[in-house]
Amino acid sequence: MSIDLAAYNKLLDELQPRNVRLVAVSKTKPVEDIKELYDAGQRDFGENYVQELVVKQTQLPDEIRWHFIGHLQSNKIKMIAPFVHLIHGVDSMRLLEAINKEGKKIGRRIKCLLQVHIAREESKFGFDTEEAKKAVEQVLADHHYDALELCGLMGMASFTDDHLLVEQEFKTLKRLFDEISAMFPDQQHFNILSMGMSGDYKLAMGCGSNMIRIGSMLFGSRN
Ligand SMILES: *Cc1c(COP(=O)(O)O)cnc(C)c1O
Q: Tell me the pLDDT of the chain averaged across its residues.
A: 95
- Substitution candidate for ligand 1 out of 192, 213, 221 with most atoms within 8 A of CB: 213
Question: Ligand 1 in contact with 199 (CB < 6 A)?
Answer: yes
Question: Ligand 1 in contact with 196 (CB < 6 A)?
Answer: no
Question: Ligand 1 in contact with 220 (CB < 6 A)?
Answer: no
Question: Ligand 1 in contact with 25 (CB < 6 A)?
Answer: yes
46: CA distance to ligand 1 center in Å? 9
- Calculate the alpha carbon distances from 123 to 94, 95, 112 in Å: 19, 18, 21
Element (H, E) at 35: helix 31-39
pLDDT of residue 16 exceeding 60, the answer is yes
pLDDT digits (tens, 9 = 90+) for 179-210: 999 999 888 899 999 999 999 999 999 999 99
- Substitution candidate for ligand 1 out of 11, 23, 25 with most atoms within 8 A of CB: 25
Q: Which atom of ligand 1 is nearest to the CA of 216?
A: 8
As a dihedral over the C-alpha atoms of residue 165, residue 168, residue 174, residue 178, rounded to 10 degrees, the angle is: -160
User: In this structure, which residue's CA is closest to atom 6 in ligand 1?
Assistant: 215
> pLDDT-derived band of residue 166, with 50, 70 and 90 as boundaries?
very high
27: CA distance to ligand 1 center in Å? 9
| pLDDT confidence of residue 203 | 97
- Give dist(CA 97, CA 27) in Å, integer: 26
- Residues with Cβ within 8 Å of residue 196, at least 6 apart in sequence: 170, 202, 203, 204, 205, 209, 212, 213, 214
pLDDT over 90, % of the chain: 90
Element (H, E) at 100: helix 93-106
| Cβ–Cβ < 8 Å for 170, 207 | yes
Question: Ligand 1 in contact with 218 (CB < 6 A)?
Answer: no
Task: Tell me the whole-structure pTM to 2 decimals.
Answer: 0.96
pLDDT of residue 1 exceeding 60, the answer is no
pLDDT over 70, % of the chain: 98
> pLDDT-derived band of residue 125, with 50, 70 and 90 as boundaries?
confident
pLDDT digits (tens, 9 = 90+) for 29-60: 999 999 999 999 999 999 999 999 999 999 99
Q: Which atom of ligand 1 is nearest to the CA of 219?
A: 8
Question: Ligand 1 in contact with 216 (CB < 6 A)?
Answer: yes
